[in-house]
Amino acid sequence: MKEKVKKLLSQALEENKSLFLIDFSITEGNQIRVIIDGDNGVTVKDCISVSRAIEHNIDREEIDFSLDVASAGVSEPLSIPRQYLKNLGRNLKVRTKNQDIFEGKLTKVDDKEIELQWKTREPKPIGKGKVTVQKEQVLEYKDIAEAIVMITFN
């Protein structure tokens, strides 16, 4: 069953190239769970389309199953490079595997790493007072434990 669902899922995502798979699982009780994301977001219509592509091609007379197709939530951590690319220019909070935390604007994304930039106030090198400095941090995906998009309300 898993291979059949994978094939149907691949076909559904092939029809809409802006959508991509985040997670897919089937429990022992044949509960199918699919989480998708999209370069331009995910609509309810997108979820319905993917759901139908799977559901309409599996015979319920043969296999009893339940199906849940959902979009990756805003509070969910980013998990694949394509999600980082989609969020280029947004603010992220990143926790590394060493437990370091960085918050900044996502300014660069490639297949191995990301770059964050932020401004901070630091003491002047000479004299009293503080000065605003631009900081940046390059992080490899393998070193990232969790990355979450910081939602701002204007």
Q: Could you tell me the CA-to-CA distances from 27 to 24, 56, 61, 63, 67 in Å, in that order?
A: 10, 20, 19, 13, 11
* Residue 68: pLDDT over 80: yes
- Supply the pLDDT for residue 154: 66
Task: Give the confidence band of 98 by pLDDT, cuts at 50, 70, 90.
Answer: very high
- Supply the pLDDT for residue 63: 84
| Pure H helices in the chain | 2-15, 44-55, 81-86
Average pLDDT over residues 114-138: 92
Task: Give the confidence band of 125 by pLDDT, cuts at 50, 70, 90.
Answer: confident
Name the residue with higher pLDDT: 75 or 142: 142
* Percentage of residues of the chain with pLDDT beyond 90: 71
The structure tokens listed for 3 are: 């291979």
Specify the CATH class of 2-71 in words.
alpha beta
Most confident option among 68-72, 110-114, 150-154: 110-114
Identify the CATH assignment for 81-149 out of 3.40.50, 2.30.30, 3.40.1000, 2.50.20: 2.30.30
Average pLDDT over residues 101-129: 93
User: What ranges do the domains of the chain cover?
Assistant: 2-71, 81-149
The pTM of this model reads: 0.77
